[in-house]
Structure 1
Amino acid sequence: MKNKLDGYVIYCKDSDKETPLGVVSDCYDCQALSEYIPTRLKKFLVEIEDKRFYSHNGIDFKGVSRAFVENIKAGHIVQGGSTISQQLARNITRDTRKTVTRKLKETIKAIQIEKQYSKDEILNLYFNNVYFGKNIWGLRTAGLYYYGKEVEKLTQTELLYLLTILRGPNYYAKRPEVIEKRYKAINNILLDRKVISKSRFQKNIRTKLTISKTQLSSFRNVSIPFIANRIDEKRKIIISSIDLKIQEFVEKFVIESKYPVSIIALKNGEVLGFASSYGTDYPFISRSNVGSTLKPFLYCHLRESGISEFEKFDAYKNSLDWEVREVGCYKSQLNIQEALFYSNNNSFINAANQVGFETNLKFLSDILNKPQTDLFPSSVLGATKSGISLYELALAYSNYFNPANLTDTKTECLSILNKVFYEKLGLKIENVFLKTGTTNDNKERYAVLGNADLVYAVLRNENALNDTSKEGSFMNQISRHISSMFKRNLNFVWT
């Protein structure tokens, strides 16, 4: 059974303008549903595609005979003979094979449709299911994709353009001269049959055919609760928290990555943009260990629990005899600030053990909004029983390091993470932080970065290209893209 939000259109706020982002769908197809189909468009369709629509029961035998004769004369197929009901049956079954079996099934389905629905209902179903090229299905989606408009705002010329490309949207998309020829032919038919007036005909012909394609995405149902600010069930519209520029940025980041990657951006706990190689639900439902990205939280807790900035801890071994991997070789003793900068596991384990694991786990439980039963001692290194989603990780940073709630300890932590940002990315931006983490034998690589306004969390998964470096190319990818999203030298500086 379909989710009740399937077919809803998602909008973002671009200044005072609402911009369509995509459609709720658990598959690749974009199919926005609409209960409003212009009466004049239905009349146009009947005249052009199936003039005996109101008198047949799904099969137009006269039309089939005429098409057969015309095809014989031409020596190739020039007419199809399919009724609107047959075309609807084909769009519903999504079967376009040119076989006798497919045609038979289509015919049976068309007769069933005629028995089940009224003629007006069939036209509504047709315009909600007709294919408009790429992954676009339905009149409403086509209006949003080609014109950025809801159906009721489309002009007659725009409606006629959509009717013009119906027979082969992907074919016509590459042939504007063919579109123009067919558009004129359609207007001539409507004029000859007195469906439009001569003045309307002349206006249609004089109007230049223009489109401005809007990139539409399919948003899976699972992601909607995280981004919906308001849901209008009557209009089947979702007003989201998504920022258009940030959404375009994160989608470009994913498209240009040679590895599977996911990214999400939050401001004050609200999702402003997200994208993933694995689908729009992935940043919210996929959970894993997040490695050293939890160290900044733990750092603040340790400092506030009495660990001084001068106290040294063993960097080569830990008091629990855990075998842990380290990024590289450091001094044998590190203070807690150095341990955070170098992301040294042994030092953190030793400091955490000194404070007491129970209090550390209680703290992490509050930060991550997870029950303490989901945590165990190794959670200080980023491990949990059920894992942490990319959204949960970004939300923890967004909430904890919110500028409105900064303490001296948090500011101290951020100043260290600013040095990490410069060390790893080579970008001198004083108000930006970065923390990375690798898990699952370096197959999952995390980066959380941001400034006073915005937090990005990024996860890169490995594939057959097998980049064996700890972070190298991952940091290069982030460096190439992310600097454009942060302004340099703002007043807000962590010192």
Structure 2
Amino acid sequence: MNNNLINQISRRVPNYTNINDIPNNLKNAVVATEDRRFYQHGAFDFISIGRALITDIKEGKFKEGGSTITQQLAKNLFLSNDKTIKRKFKEIFFTMELERRYTKDQILEMYLNVIYYGSNVYGVENASERYFNKSLKKLSLSECSMLAGIPQAPNDYNPEKHIDKAKKRQKIVLNAMVKSGFINKKVQENAWNKSLVIN
């Protein structure tokens, strides 16, 4: 954390991609799906946390999360999957430090380059080449929305293995983009109906 994280990650991740080289459709799809108020809130989205808490109370179990993109980045970079109070405090600390030291675009850039996409693939450029056999810059909205849906459950939404599940997840992403105002219904329908060639 005390050194430049972007430099550290770019040295470790093949095909590390600058935020300016990531298609807007992909950035918008990820923000709409993972953290709709990413550019408005600080380290934490208390609206999402409150909504998740209400859902969990109604369901009687931990069903919904309220993690921001920054929290997810902190987990991926610094933490194990242990569900302990100590780990939660570490997550809070690292999330606040990331927000203090880096811009939102830098945080999104790091997130997109370290997140897991299934099939032993990390990072958006590598995922693009793996699943669509093309550079990230050449992805269509349809391809971007499918890619954005994978990280929530990389094995279940892997388009090579579970195309039906991946398509259902893609529809959720496209709906989120409409709800967030990134695209309209007609664009959504065109993207949903477009046939995809999975590598």
* Structure-1-length-normalised TM-score: 0.36
Shift of 1:180: 2.0
The one-letter code matched in structure 2 to 1:211 is I
CA contact (8 A) 1:32 1:137 kept: no
1:199 match = 186
Shift of 1:86: 0.3
CA contact (8 A) 2:79 2:87 kept: no
Shift of 1:43: 2.2
Shift of 1:120: 1.2
1:120 to 102, 105, 111: 105
1:82 aligns with 2:67: yes
Structure-2 separation of matches of 1:78 and 1:128: 27
Distance 1:145 1:96, change over 3 A: farther
1:32 match = 15
Aligned residues: percent identity? 35
Shift of 1:165: 1.0
Structure-2 separation of matches of 1:7 and 1:117: 15
2:33 to 35, 48, 58: 48
The one-letter code matched in structure 1 to 2:172 is A
1:180 match = 167
1:102 to 84, 87, 91: 87
Structure-2 separation of matches of 1:116 and 1:208: 42
1:208 match = 195
Runs of 5+ unmatched residues, structure 2: none
Deviations 1:374-411 (A, max 9, x none): xxxxxxxxxxxxxxxxxxxxxxxxxxxxxxxxxxxxxx
1:92 aligns with 2:77: yes
* Structure-2-length-normalised TM-score: 0.84
Alignment of 1:319-358 (within 5 A): none
3-state SS of paired residue (2:17) = coil
Deviations 1:28-74 (A, max 9, x none): xx643111222332222222211221222211122112111112222
Distance 1:116 1:205, change over 3 A: same
Does 1 or 2 have the higher relative contact order (CA < 8 Å, sep 6+)? 2
Distance 1:76 1:182, change over 3 A: farther
Larger radius of gyration: 1
Shift of 1:106: 1.6
Runs of 5+ unmatched residues, structure 1: 9-24, 213-495
Q: Which aligned segments of 4 or more residues in structure 1 are displaced greater than 4 angstroms?
A: none
Structure-2 separation of matches of 1:92 and 1:204: 33
Structure-2 separation of matches of 1:55 and 1:191: 18
Deviations 1:106-145 (A, max 9, x none): 2211110100011111111111111112322111111111
Which of the two has greater strand per residue? 1
Deviations 1:455-474 (A, max 9, x none): xxxxxxxxxxxxxxxxxxxx
Structure-2 separation of matches of 1:185 and 1:147: 20
1:367 match = none
Shift of 1:151: 1.1
The one-letter code matched in structure 1 to 2:141 is Q
Distance 1:192 1:62, change over 3 A: closer
Which of the two has greater helix per residue? 2
Shift of 1:194: 2.6
The one-letter code matched in structure 1 to 2:174 is N
How many residue pairs match? The answer is 189
Structure-2 separation of matches of 1:107 and 1:66: 19
Structure-1 separation of matches of 2:59 and 2:77: 31
3-state SS of paired residue (2:156) = helix
CA contact (8 A) 2:29 2:144 kept: no
